[in-house]
Structure 1
Amino acid sequence: MSRTLIIIGLAIAAAGLLWPWLRELGLGKLPGDILIERENFTFYAPITTGLLISVVLSLVLWLINR
């Protein structure tokens, strides 16, 4: 269990460090991602991006555990 948490933490840290390059792929700007901008307020809900990342991670983990 602890090894799994360490791997997940490292993956999150790597995604954070690589985020400027990952944005160029279009993540965060997919149809279904909600962006509301007002004068003093910005709301962003990356629904489609979250679903896509969830599906990809689920497939990768399923293949690893197979």
Structure 2
Amino acid sequence: MTTLLFLSYEHLLIIALIVLLLFGGKKIPELMHGLGKGVKSFKSGMKDVEEEVKKSVDEVKDETTK
């Protein structure tokens, strides 16, 4: 059985305040910066994988047409 989690604006505000209390105002920008770098790195890695797959598919197509 699955349950759906619905968050209202009040819930999000409470969560934001708790995060602010736990990490402090100075640490949150550092965390967001690290998160941004991680997302950028992930996207770059996915692009590299896509290029490798395309290259492999092209090589297989070339071999089968010979």
TM-score normalised by the chain length of structure 1: 0.35
The structure richer in strand per residue is 1
The structure richer in helix per residue is 2
